[in-house]
Amino acid sequence: MEMLAASGNLSATDIYKKFKSTPPAISQHLKVLREANLVRVEKRAQQRIYYVNPEPMKELEKWIKLFTERMEEQYSALDKVLEKLRSEPPA
């Protein structure tokens, strides 16, 4: 995903060349990314050109922000409980 985001697009062959894994292994990873709708593929003659699909990435970014906010709220609540416990005299 980082390579595609940085380059804009890459052929499957260019992607294979950047990894030590076998082309079939990389192909399986690309298939998972396609099925998750995170990348798009365009056929040009005998090549397959891969692109990052921006819309699902935007949705993922929204989810991450919401998740982070919720976690921060939980950590803040935990901090308050711990601070209260620290300030209470030992039993």
Q: Structural domain boundaries of the chain?
A: 2-52, 54-91
pLDDT in tens, 1-39: 999 999 999 999 999 999 999 999 999 999 999 999 999
Q: Can you list the positions of beta strands (E) in the chain?
A: 10-11, 39-44, 47-52
Amino acid at 85: L
| CATH code of domain 2-52 | 1.10.10.10
- CA 84 distance to own-chain centroid: 38
| Nearest by Cα to 3 from 18, 21, 22 | 18
pLDDT in tens, 37-87: 999 999 988 999 999 999 998 999 999 999 999 999 999 999 999 999 999
pLDDT in tens, 59-70: 999 999 999 999
User: Can you tell me the distance from the alpha carbon of 86 to that of 74, in angstroms, rounded to the nearest whole number?
Assistant: 18
Structure confidence at residue 48 (pLDDT): 93
Q: pTM here?
A: 0.67
